[in-house]
Chains A and B, each alone.
Chain A
Amino acid sequence: KQEVTQIPAALSVPEGENLVLNCSFTDSAIYNLQWFRQDPGKGLTSLLLIQSSQREQTSGRLNASLDKSSGRSTLYIAASQPGDSATYLCAVCLVSQGGKLIFGQGTELSVKP
């Protein structure tokens, strides 16, 4: 059974720091891995999607990497800003089940001014 784990559960950093969020998964049979952002009481906003054949994706200050063989992904946020404060979720898309996503529990990020 696929399990997705995110470490740390919560992170507080001063503005301007570069930071790394971690995601690990137990089964490498995935189509892709997606990183989401969720603001309190809101839905999920897709940040980056990495196909299983790719190693990384970049969007602005965000960079996500994928090492399928070791079951790991990282989300790197450069020069963090208070507006980056949110919960970040990673999810793997299963090969076997029609696009179903398995989510991690999320990392709650707080960036202090």
Chain B
Amino acid sequence: DVKVTQSSRYLVKRTGEKVFLECVQDMDHENMFWYRQDPGLGLRLIYFSYDVKMKEKGDIPEGYSVSREKKERFSLILESASTNQTSMYLCASIGSGVYNEQFFGPGTRLTVL
């Protein structure tokens, strides 16, 4: 059974803190993605990665960075959390080549106070 896991389901942080959101997949997928989901705005792509140590900006990368040191793990970093980064964060992965089903993690609900 394929699986994408995220380190936390719920997270509460204070403004200015550095925040790490971790995502791990067990499918040996090359491509991994970070989205955020907000009411009225839908899902928006923050960053994605084609392979280890490779990253590409998505539609809303400002205020975020990412790290992919191992194939199975893709981390999203909020360098200095702000209240407008309160959101649901969803990680996903997909194999390269012929693109098939994209698998999502359970999400992390982040609240920045």
Q: Which A residues are within 8 Å of any B CB, using their own CB?
A: 31-32, 34, 36, 41-46, 49, 89, 91, 93, 98-101, 103-106
Q: Is B48 a contact of A98 with CB atoms below 8 Å?
A: yes
CA distance A46 to B48 in the complex (A): 19
Binds A, one of B65-73, B76-84, B102-110: B102-110
Select one of A32, A89, A106 contacting B99, CB under 8 A. Answer: A32
Task: Give the A-B contact count at a CB cut-off of 8 A.
Answer: 59
Select one of B33, B50, B58, B103 contacting A46, CB under 8 A. Answer: B103
In the complex, B17 has a CB within 8 A of chain A:
no
Size category of the binding interface on chain B: 20 to 34
Which A residues are CB-close (under 8 A) to B60?
A: none
Which B residues are CB-close (under 8 A) to A41?
A: 88, 107, 109
Q: Is A100 a contact of B45 with CB atoms below 8 Å?
A: yes
Q: Known A99-B31, A100-B45, A103-B43; judge A93-B99 contact (CB<8 A).
A: yes
CA distance A36 to B103 in the complex (A): 10
Q: Is B102 a contact of A105 with CB atoms below 8 Å?
A: no
CA distance A89 to B103 in the complex (A): 14
Which B residues are CB-close (under 8 A) to A89?
A: 43
Q: Is A46 a contact of B106 with CB atoms below 8 Å?
A: no
Q: Is B90 a contact of A43 with CB atoms below 8 Å?
A: yes
Q: Is B101 a contact of A34 with CB atoms below 8 Å?
A: yes
Q: Is A44 a contact of B104 with CB atoms below 8 Å?
A: yes
